[in-house]
């Protein structure tokens, strides 16, 4: 027997401060789903920021060594990507 079912016949006690609206809102699957979704997004972006600051403060120089951005192949890939999206 649940606590809610056991106390259904009794009057509301003074320690029970949640109204019926808030009680039903906390049991709503849509509300709980949204809270879980927002919580998971917060954790995801917190991990991104943690990884960024870890790499930022533990390494002195990025990119390491002699590194050049491949502009020729990047331009070709960008141009072909735009051409594929242009013609369905």
- Tokens describing residue 27: 């049991």
pLDDT tens readout for residues 27-82: 788 888 999 999 999 999 999 999 999 988 887 776 666 778 889 999 998 888 77
Q: List alpha helices for 1-88, DSSP H.
A: 3-6, 20-26, 29-58, 71-86
What global pTM score does this model have?
0.46
Contact 5, 13 (CB under 8 A): no
């Amino acid at each position: 027997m649940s606590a809610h079912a056991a106390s259904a016949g009794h009057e509301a006690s003074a320690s029970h401060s949640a109204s019926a609206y808030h009680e039903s809102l906390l049991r709503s699957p849509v509300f709980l789903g949204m809270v879980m979704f927002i919580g998971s997004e917060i954790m995801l972006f917190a991990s991104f920021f943690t990884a960024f600051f870890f790499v930022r403060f533990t390494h002195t120089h990025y990119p390491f060594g002699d590194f050049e951005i491949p502009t020729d192949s990047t331009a070709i890939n960008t141009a072909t990507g735009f051409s594929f999206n242009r013609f369905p």
